[in-house]
Every structure is written in structure tokens, then in C-alpha cells.
Structure 1
Amino acid sequence: MTTPATRQIFDAQVWSLLAFAKKSYTEHGFGWLDDVGNIDAERGVQLWITGSMTHAFALGHLLGDPDCAALAEHGIRSLLDGPLRDAATGGWFSVVDVDGAARPGPLAAHDHSFVMLAAASAHLAGIPRAQELLDAALGTFEELWWDEEAGMVVDSRDRESLAVAPYRGARANMCTVEALLAAYSATDNVLHLQRASRITDRIAYEFADHDFRLPEHFDASWKADLEYNQDHPTDVTRPYGSVIGHWLQWSRLMVQVRIACTEADIAHASLLRTFPQYIYRQALRDGWEVDGQAGFVYTVDFDGRPVIHQRMYWALCEGITAAETLLQMTGDRSYEHDIDAYTAWAQRFLIESPGQWREELDIHNRPSSELWSGKPDIHHALQAMLTGRLPITPSFAEGILALRD
């Protein structure tokens, strides 16, 4: 549990985050919100945002927000029947214009993972047609994304030919683990947990093989490419180096996977018992206040030197979520100090007003939009605010349900 003062802040933020997110409603899903909460039409309607907002509204419904059931249902309908759905492949486009026209670009595993997450959370929340969407998302996952031989997901496919791109990425696999855990919660099908475990085990060994600084980029044979995008380090989705926020998210996911596998008597790497704590501490050593300013730097190289000094809101949220999870797992009260420190930093620099978390800060903790702009999602913050209230379960929706029982 967080300290009482911090818990009070978190509880208030839950409702404020949901209230702000309601502004994202569009005809074809949920849109990208700008700094003041207006729809940024130039960004179109993006699949990952529509999925993550539907997930958030499903959690909001489980928490008792009276508006969230209708919003989650809108998200489910949009993903099933709207222009984001690609009739030719059975998958989903990554982005459509506000008028529904699909924009060019490949099909992306990362973006599809949010469809699975949304459907699973909505199913547990009792949202109509969520099961239909979950069945469709799982079918597409099987056909387009899962590589049984590697025990990982491929990253993207050409929209027309469905040819698999040679690039492989840890980011898509991380979000897929979260989605598979949610699917396991929703279905009790151990196949989803087994696959989440296979991905997580492989990532754990990648941490171990690279001095606990995770490679983000790989070739088609899953050989790490440590120089990928070295000449373009600020690429938004594939930055050079290693992403501190991903270390924090993996540390939390490893705990969830290990506990779920232990309860289900499913094989998993024994190192998942100790690695989460070590990866979390490595993130603090390499990422927190390392350039003389408070906050997590975005990326570091493989000697631990900062590359991108921007502070991303979601990384701070994953720090809170990881610390809350490790506090509950270990009983080590030192994590409370970390949570309080993160919360104080967020209040001072990130949270402009209730429910409105600035996406990016520069090295001096001033508002920045070099990599991201606006306030496009709430799910990282929402989950961070909830974690200390919930038992450790495969998914947040299951955790809320367990708390209600």
C-alpha cells in the first residue's frame, strides 16, 4: 500500500483522469487529445488510442463511473464495425482520418495488442459484444502476429501482401504480454499465459545477456541490433538505445507472469523471481536524476549513458506501477519512499490540473513536445493510480473484480 497522503492523491486522480479522457470521443473511436483536451484532427483516429481508451473506460465502469459503460461500448463497436477494421485481412488499420479514410502504413502488432487488451477488459466488465471482439482479436493474433518457433510476435506486416517485415521489436512484445495476460484473465485459457511466459522468459534472458540494459531492436532471427537508429536516436517508436520506462514496465510484468504461472502450475524461468527487483533498481541507477535533474531520462546507451534526456509521463507512471507491485510482492517498505518521490515529482512537474498529465518534459523539467505532443492517453496513469489498491493478478480488470468480491 502507498502512504495515506499519496493514496488520497491517487484516488482523486482516478476520477479526474477518466473525466478528462471522456473528451476523446469521436465518431469512429477515440481521438488524440491536445494539451487543452481538444481532439487533434491531424492525428486522425488511432488504433492504439481507441484500444487503450476502451480499456480505460472498461476499468472505469468496473470502478463505478456512470458514464464509462457507454463509452466502452462505443469503443467495442468502433473496433468491430468502424473504419479501423480492415475487412480484407480481418485485422485493423493503425490510423484512419476523422472521416474514416484509412491512412497508408503497415499493420502493426503493437497497435493490435491494444485491441486484445480492450476486448479482454471490456469482457470482464460485461460490455456488450466484447466477447465478439476478443474472439476476433485472438484470431488475428494467431494468424498475423504469433511466431510459434520464436515464441515471440513479429512486429509488422505489409497491408497488401501481408509480408512480414524483417524488423523485430521488444516494444510490441511487451504490450502483447500485457494483452495476453488480460486475455488469460478473460478466458482462463492457459495458452495465453503460456505465450506470455515464453515472451517474458526470452526478454529476461536478453536483460541478462546485456548487463541488464534491454536491447529494443532485433533482426528477423532475433539477434539484437545495438546500433539500430544510432543516426536517428529520437525516432518516436524505435529510438536508439534502451528505454528506461520499458525496464520498469517489464519488471512489473515479470511479477504478474511469475505469480500467474505459479498459480496455474505453468513452467517459467526461475530468474523471474529475482530479476524484477534488479531490473527496477537498474532503472533507477541508470535513469533517475542521472543528469542532475529529477525524473527518468527516456533512453540510455548500452554503457548506461543518457541518450535522450526528455522525461516521458508514461515512464514515471510505470515507475509507480512497478514500485507498487514490488512493494506488495516483497513487503520492502523502501518502495514507499520511491512512490512518494515519484508522486511529488509528478505533482510539481507533470500534472497541470486534475487528470491532465503532460506527456513530455525536457531535461530541465519544462514542457516539451520534441517527441510527443498533447495528452493522447490515460491508461499508464490510470493503472499507476490503481495498482496499490489491487491484488497482483494477471490483469487490472481482474484485480478490480477481486477487490469487489
Structure 2
Amino acid sequence: MTDAKLTLPKTNSSPWPNRPFHRQYLMRQANNLFDFFEAPSMNPKGGFFELDDDGNPLDADNATRQIHVTTRMVHCAVLGSLIGRPGSDEIVDHGMRYIWDRHRDPRRGGYVWSLDDAGVTNGAKQAYGHAFVLLAASSASLVGHPLAKEMLADVTEVINTRFWEEKSGSVRDEYNHDWSQLLPYRGQNANMHMTEALMAAFEATGNRDYLTKAERIAELIILKHAVPLGHRVAEHFDENWVLDRNYEGNEMFRPSGTTPGHWLEWARLLYQLWVLGEKRLSWMTGAARALFHQSIELGWDSVHGGFFYTLDWDNKPIMREKLWWPVSEAIGAAAYISAFDNEDYFQAWYRKLWDYAENHVIDHQRGGWLSELKEDLTPTSRLFVGKPDIYHALQACLIPLYPTTGSLTKGIIEADHTAKHLV
């Protein structure tokens, strides 16, 4: 029997997310992540430190703050606030003020990629970063942060006027600091995270334009491109959205080939988008299940376990490292799909993925999750130094605990509302 044909024992088939002990396990793992990341990440000069493997700040004397780190920490602190973790609101405020006062460019508009204590270190205006600003502002609005409404309006205007491309139904990727040059590159990663953020903004505001944009991006990236490619998500395109199979870019953010972890991320986002769209677009669920299957069939290492980071177009591994975030996204996808699909396959893989995370990825000695493993699952740091952020692993822990009625924040709020009515 191969990994791809795992089935649950017929005598013990209750889904793990329904079991009290497993639910306690998930919340305990989430709390461990909060303990590892929240207080140690707080930079007294503003923003957040990135942490080494022991949980100590990297470059503590003059740390660079990248926008995706700042914004993701805000989003995760909102999750903490919503589930009732003390201290989270202060972290939300700390991050929101740094985004507004430092990442935001008040003269030219938009939000810069990175800063240190002296000022801007990379002034690029990237759709990827602006997607996470939209996510942070949308999430912070749910806990009533005073900057959330203004930031949400500001970043929405920037996205609509600078990044959104109506003809293609997608966002452009990157400008330089003063908006004077738009790079010809188009990528799915920025559009994927914009889809996530647009859904969060729709939930926060009720403005259907956000949802419509998210649906159009999904149609372009998945229905138009991934489905004809055998449910493999293409990453890199030119300005006319012609696939560039030979693209070679940044190994971390724009690696060559395809990235199975993104297929898994899209699998969950498609189900989420289908639910928010009142289950109108039926193609999304079939595509999501196929993306999950393909990520297992092509991306999972059947010898050692874990997902290869990237594959070439012949489905052979390019970068054989196993990172923490694909398994996190796989867990979230398996949990979300299982809420609507009773096929044993997704439940079986949910269990196998947690077995893998527990035995190889979670750092039980020091805290947090190991960011990178070699092919044989021994720790390495070729791509990442330390433990980059809380975002992926935390959502893997929390998604299985809450209703699949939209995003995780929406699920938490609805579960809390239901609990109040049951008291």
C-alpha cells in the first residue's frame, strides 16, 4: 500500500478533530507557538524581531523588519485575541502602529517592504506585502483596533489603483519605491495571498467587490492555468500571463519550477472561497480536491516523508528540502476539505500529516517548528535561518477546531457566538 492510498481503520474511523484529546492537543500546540513567538518577537523600537532556533532575536541591535513578518504577527495576535489569549491585544496594537507609522509611505502612497532602525532598507512596493497589509487591517478590524478602518481603506485604494489589473482579473506584482517602474513579472504567489486577504476584507466589511476580485484571481490561477496543467499550480508568468517555465528567481519567494505547498494552500482557499460565495462556483471543490491529491502524489517523499519544496515540469524534485509551511498548509487543507467530503483519504492524510509534524517538525525541546529539514529529515538552514514566523503553523493548529464557514477568524467568531447562545 502506498502513502497515497492510506485509509482509516474501519473500526476506528472517527475524525481526529472531533475527539476531545486531539482538540486539546491542537490548542496546546497553538499555545506553545504563542509562547515561543509573541513576547520574544516584540521589538521595543517597533515592529517584531525574527527569531533564531532558540527563540532569541536575530540581529537584535538593528533588526530588519519585513512587511510580511509584521503583518502576519498582527493577524496571528488577532487570532489570539479572538480565542481569549491574554496579551494579544497589545501585540496587535504594537504591530498596527508600526505598519501605519513606518511601513506606510505617507508621501508616495503604499507600503514599503522592509526597514531597520535607520529607515527604509527596501522600498519596493509589492502586491505580496500589500496583501498582508489588507489581511492585517481586516483582521484587526474584528477586534476594534482604532487604526484598522483607516488602514483598510488606505490599502484598498492602493490595491485598486496600483495593483489591480481588470483585464486579467489579477494583481500586478511589484513597483519600485516611487512607483516609477512596474516589473514585467507576474506571479501566482502574490495573487494567492491577495485572494486570502480579499476574502478577509469581504468578511470584515461585507463589500462584495473584495469577493468578486478573489473569485477572478482563482479563476485565472487555477481554472485557466492549473487545471490544464494537470492540477499543478504554475508560479511564474510574463506581463501577459504567459507561463514562463524557465523562470529562475529568488529561492525563497519565487523559486523555479512548481511548489506543491502552494497547491495545498490553494486547496483550502478554494473551499473557503466556495463557501463565502454561497457555493455557487462548483468547479472550486473538484479543483481543490485534485490539487490536494496531486500534491500528495507528486510532492510527498514516500521514502522519508515530507513535501519536497519544488518540482520541475517533469515532476522531479528540484529543491529536496522539506519546509515547515507546506505540511502546515496540508493539515489546514485536509481539515477544511474533510468538513465537506467524507472520503477517508482526507482524514487519513490529516492524521499522517500530524504524525509527521509531531515526530519531525515540532521542536519539542526549544519550542516552535523547525523551519527546514534535509531530504532525510535532519535539520538544516540553507533557505531559512531560525524560525521565521508563527503564521502557517498556528493556522494548522486552529483551523481544525473551528467551523468551516469562511476564514479562520470568521469561524472563531461564529463558534463564540454559538457558545454564547448555548449558555
TM-score normalised according to structure 1 size: 0.94
Find the residue that maps to 1:102 and give its secondary structure: strand
Find the residue that maps to 2:335 and give its secondary structure: helix
Whether contact under 8 Å (2:134, 2:197) holds in the other structure is: yes
Please tell me whether residue 121 in structure 1 is matched to residue 133 in structure 2: no
Pick from 100, 103, 107: which aligns with 1:80? 100
What is the alpha-carbon distance in structure 2 between the residues aligned to residue 145 and residue 393 of structure 1?
A: 28
Give the structure 2 partner of residue 370 of structure 1. 382
Give the structure 1 partner of residue 218 of structure 2. 200
Give the structure 2 partner of residue 25 of structure 1. 42
What is the alpha-carbon distance in structure 1 between the residues aligned to residue 215 and residue 406 of structure 2?
A: 12
Pick from 315, 328, 334: which aligns with 2:339? 328
Please tell me whether residue 340 in structure 1 is matched to residue 351 in structure 2: yes
Q: Which amino acid aligns with 2:16?
A: T
Give the structure 2 partner of residue 167 of structure 1. 185
Pick from 166, 169, 172: which aligns with 1:151? 169
Pick from 351, 354, 357: which aligns with 2:369? 357
1:202-236 CA-to-partner distances (Å, cap 9, x unmatched) read 1122111212221100000000001111xx6x722
- Give the Å deviation of 1:100: 4.3
What is the alpha-carbon distance in structure 2 between the residues aligned to residue 197 and residue 309 of structure 1?
A: 33
Q: Which amino acid aligns with 1:24?
A: S
Give the structure 2 partner of residue 69 of structure 1. 89
What is the alpha-carbon distance in structure 1 between the residues aligned to residue 370 and residue 331 of structure 2?
A: 16
- Structure 1 runs not aligned, ≥5 long: none
What is the alpha-carbon distance in structure 1 between the residues aligned to residue 291 and residue 306 of structure 2?
A: 17
Pick from 382, 396, 399: which aligns with 1:384? 396
What is the alpha-carbon distance in structure 1 between the residues aligned to residue 180 and residue 25 of structure 2?
A: 47
Q: Which amino acid aligns with 1:334?
A: Y
Give the structure 2 partner of residue 47 of structure 1. 67
- Give the Å deviation of 1:132: 1.7
Find the residue that maps to 1:62 and give its secondary structure: helix
* More displaced stretch, 218-227 vs 106-115: 106-115
What is the alpha-carbon distance in structure 1 between the residues aligned to residue 74 and residue 187 of structure 2?
A: 25
What is the alpha-carbon distance in structure 2 between the residues aligned to residue 303 and residue 7 of structure 1?
A: 40
1:5-38 CA-to-partner distances (Å, cap 9, x unmatched) read 4333211011111121211111221221111112
Please tell me whether residue 16 in structure 1 is matched to residue 27 in structure 2: no
Pick from 231, 247, 257: which aligns with 1:212? 231
User: In the superposition, relative to structure 1, how do residues 336 and 161 fare at CA in structure 2: closer, same or farther (>3 Å)?
Assistant: closer
**Runs of 4+ with >6 A deviation:** none
User: In the superposition, relative to structure 1, how do residues 394 and 164 fare at CA in structure 2: closer, same or farther (>3 Å)?
Assistant: farther
What is the alpha-carbon distance in structure 1 between the residues aligned to residue 271 and residue 141 of structure 2?
A: 24
What is the alpha-carbon distance in structure 1 between the residues aligned to residue 118 and residue 269 of structure 2?
A: 35
Identity score, percent? 34
- Give the Å deviation of 1:355: 4.7
1:43-72 CA-to-partner distances (Å, cap 9, x unmatched) read 501110000000000110001011001110
TM-score normalised according to structure 2 size: 0.90
- Give the Å deviation of 1:273: 2.7
1:321-373 CA-to-partner distances (Å, cap 9, x unmatched) read 00001100112233222122111111111111275101111101011111111
Whether contact under 8 Å (2:168, 2:220) holds in the other structure is: no
1:215-364 equivalent positions in 2, closer than 5 A: 215-229=234-248, 235-262=251-278, 268=281, 270-290=282-302, 292-353=303-364, 355-364=367-376
- Structure 2 runs not aligned, ≥5 long: 1-14, 418-423
Whether contact under 8 Å (1:245, 1:319) holds in the other structure is: yes
Whether contact under 8 Å (1:58, 1:68) holds in the other structure is: yes
Please tell me whether residue 133 in structure 1 is matched to residue 151 in structure 2: yes
Q: Which amino acid aligns with 1:215?
A: A
Whether contact under 8 Å (1:293, 1:364) holds in the other structure is: yes
Find the residue that maps to 2:227 and give its secondary structure: helix
Whether contact under 8 Å (1:250, 1:276) holds in the other structure is: yes
Please tell me whether residue 37 in structure 1 is matched to residue 55 in structure 2: yes
* More displaced stretch, 309-318 vs 368-377: 368-377
- Give the Å deviation of 1:108: 1.0
Whether contact under 8 Å (2:70, 2:95) holds in the other structure is: yes
Q: Over aligned residue pairs, what C-alpha RMSD do you find? A: 1.6
User: In the superposition, relative to structure 1, how do residues 315 and 274 fare at CA in structure 2: closer, same or farther (>3 Å)?
Assistant: same
Find the residue that maps to 1:96 and give its secondary structure: strand
What is the alpha-carbon distance in structure 1 between the residues aligned to residue 123 and residue 147 of structure 2?
A: 28
Whether contact under 8 Å (1:125, 1:397) holds in the other structure is: no
What is the alpha-carbon distance in structure 2 between the residues aligned to residue 104 and residue 50 of structure 1?
A: 15
Whether contact under 8 Å (2:125, 2:179) holds in the other structure is: no
How many aligned residue pairs are there?
395
Find the residue that maps to 1:388 and give its secondary structure: helix
Find the residue that maps to 1:403 and give its secondary structure: helix
Q: Which amino acid aligns with 1:316?
A: V
- Give the Å deviation of 1:105: 4.5
Q: Which amino acid aligns with 2:237?
A: F
